[in-house]
Amino acid sequence: MHFFVVLNMAKLKYASGETPILDEHSGYTFQPNHYGQSVFPVQRNDRYRRPAQSLRQRNLMQSVRAWREQSAATQTAWENFVTAFPQDCKNPDSGFLTAYQNFVKRNQYVSLKDGPDFSIMTNPSLVEIFNESGTYSLRLDSGHLFLDYSFPVGNEDLDIFIFIARGTSQSKQYQGTQARYMGSISNTGGKVPNYGVLYNHYTFYESSDFAPTGWHVMTRTEMAYLETQLGGNSIAGGKLKETGFSHWQSPNTGASNLSGYTARGSGVRRFVYQDLNQAARVWLYDLSSATYAWEQQLFYSSIASFLSVTSRWFGQQVYLAKDDSTDPGTMSGNDGQIYPTAKTGTLVYTALPSIESKYRDLSDIPIVTDQTTWQGLNSGARCFYGNDQANAFTGSDNSLDITQLYLDRFGVLPQAGQYCRFKAIPVAKSNGQFFPVVTQVLEVT
C-alpha cells in the first residue's frame, strides 16, 4: 500500500497525469536533471555500465597500489621514461604526466583489456614508436557493423580502447545514450568467414607453422574418430553440415550441425572453380603419395561423410584441431582472426573454415589467381572461389566486426547515414608511450 502512495506522489510531483516509466531492472525510477526533478527511462546499457565502472575503479586502485610496491630502481626507470618520452597531460599547468601518473594510467589500460587479474607492467620500453593517430570509419555490410581502421606503419602491435556513442545526426551524437567503454582491438584484422579460403595441400604440409601454436591441420585419424563419435560416416555428414541454405543448395540433406563443425559448401578449385553450395572438400593433413593427399567430402544431397584422396594442387578448405582436449571456446589465428571452437569426444576443432592469410612467423601465404600458375605450384598458396574475396570472407584485414558489442550496449544497429561519436585511445602493447586520443564523429556508410 505504501508503495502505491509513493508512486502517486511521484506522479503528481514529477509528471502529473502520466504513468511513471518502468525500469526493466529495478522497477519505477525517477532521476533528477539540472532543470529539476523529472522522470527518465533507464538506459539500456546500465547493466553494462555499472559493473564496468566498479571494475575500472578496482583496477585503478590496483595500479596505484602496485606503484607503491615498486622498487626505487623501477620508479627511477619510469622517471627516465617520461623524460625521454613526455606524455601530454590534461592539466595545462602540469604540461606532462609524471612517472607515477604514467605508470598508473598505462596499467589501468592494461587492466581494461586483460581484466582484474592483469599483469602489472613494471618496466617501460625506451623504444621510440610513431606518435601518430590512425584513421577510422564505420560501415554496415550484410547485417554486420564494421569498424574499419588503419595505423601508421610500425604500429602493428597497437591496441585501441574504444568508446562509442549512438547517434542519429551529426549534431546529435548522444541520441538515446552516452558513450560507453566497448573493448580493445589490435592491428590484426577482424574478418567474418563466409565459405572460407581455399588452400593447396602444400600450404601446410611443407610448412609446420600454418597453424598457431597448440593447433594443427586435422588428420585423417582425427576425422575418422569424429565420424565415429557422430554415429559413423554414413550419417556423420549431416551432423557436420551447417543448417539452412545460406551456404548449401537445397535440400541440404540431413543437415543438423550437431557437432558445431559448421561445414559450408565452399566448392573446390580444380581446373576451374566448381561445386559452390554443392560440396565441401576439406583437406586432411595426411599424404597418400607425393602428389596426392587425403580429403573429406560432404555434399548437399547426402547425409554421409566421405574420405578419399585427391591431387595436392587442388584448392580446398582447411579446419584445425587442437593438440590437447581442452576446449578454449575460441582460437586466435596467426593474423589475429578469432575462430569459435567446438568439441566432440576428446577432439577439439575450429568451428568455421580457415581464412588465415599468414604463417606463424607472420609471412604472407601467397594469393594466386592465374589458373596456369596455380596448377603448376608445389609450394603453399591460397585463393578465393571465383577469385572473389567476398566468397571467402566479409570485412578486411583492417576491419573489426563490432556488431555484437554494439547490440549489447544499444540494442539496435545504426542505419546508414546516421552518425556515431567515436573515441579511441591507442596504446602500444609493449611500450609505455601513449598515442594521441582520437575523437571523431563518424558517419555510418
- Does residue 369 sit in the same domain as residue 410? no
CA separation (Å) from 6 to 17, 30, 156, 343? 15, 11, 58, 54
Indicate whether 325 and 199 sit together in one domain. yes
Domain shared by 23 and 109, yes or no = no
Q: Phi, psi at residue 132, to the nearest 5°?
A: -130, 160
Structural domain span for residue 216: 192-394
| Cell 592483469, residue located | 118
Q: What is the pLDDT of residues 41-75, one digit of tens each?
A: 444 444 445 555 676 677 778 888 888 888 898 88
pLDDT for 237 beyond 80: yes
- Three cell numbers, residue 372: 596456369
User: Does residue 174 sit in the same domain as residue 250?
Assistant: no
96, 87 contact by CB (below 8 A): yes
Q: Are residues 221 and 306 in the same domain?
A: yes
In this model, does residue 429 exceed pLDDT 60? no
Total tally of structural domains belonging to the chain = 4
Per-residue pLDDT tens over the stretch 193-206: 899 999 999 999 98
Task: Assess whether 247 and 369 both reside in one domain.
Answer: yes
Question: Among 172, 320, 304, 164, which Cα is nearest to 233's?
Answer: 304
Same domain, 299 and 387: yes
DSSP-assigned letters across all residues of 4-53: HHHHHHHHHHHSTTSPPPEETTTEE--EEETTEEE--PPPTTHHHHHHHH
Both 181 and 314 in one domain: the answer is: no
Instruction: Give a yes or no: residue 126 inside a domain.
Output: no
Domain assignment of residue 66, yes or no: yes
CA–CA separation, 239 vs 11, rounded Å?
A: 57
125 lies in some domain = no
Least confident of 98-102, 164-168, 308-312: 164-168
CA 411 from centre of chain: 19
CA distance 300 to 237: 10
Lowest-pLDDT range of 89-93, 202-206, 232-236: 89-93
Q: Are 256 and 238 in contact (CB under 8 A)?
A: yes
134 pLDDT exceeds 60?
yes
Q: Are 282 and 265 in contact (CB under 8 A)?
A: no
Q: Is the dihedral of CA 408, 410, 416, 419 positive or negative?
A: negative
**Contact status, residue 371 vs residue 381, Cβ threshold 8 Å:** no
CB neighbours (10 Å) of residue 107?
23
CATH code at position 145: 2.60.40.10
Contact between residue 353 and residue 261 where contact means Cβ atoms under 8 Å apart: no
Does a structural domain hold residue 119?
Answer: no
Alpha-carbon distance values, 188 to 63, 112, 143, 191, 269 (Å): 28, 19, 22, 10, 28
For 110-133, the pLDDT digits (tens) are 666 566 667 777 776 544 433 445
Per DSSP, 316 falls in state: B
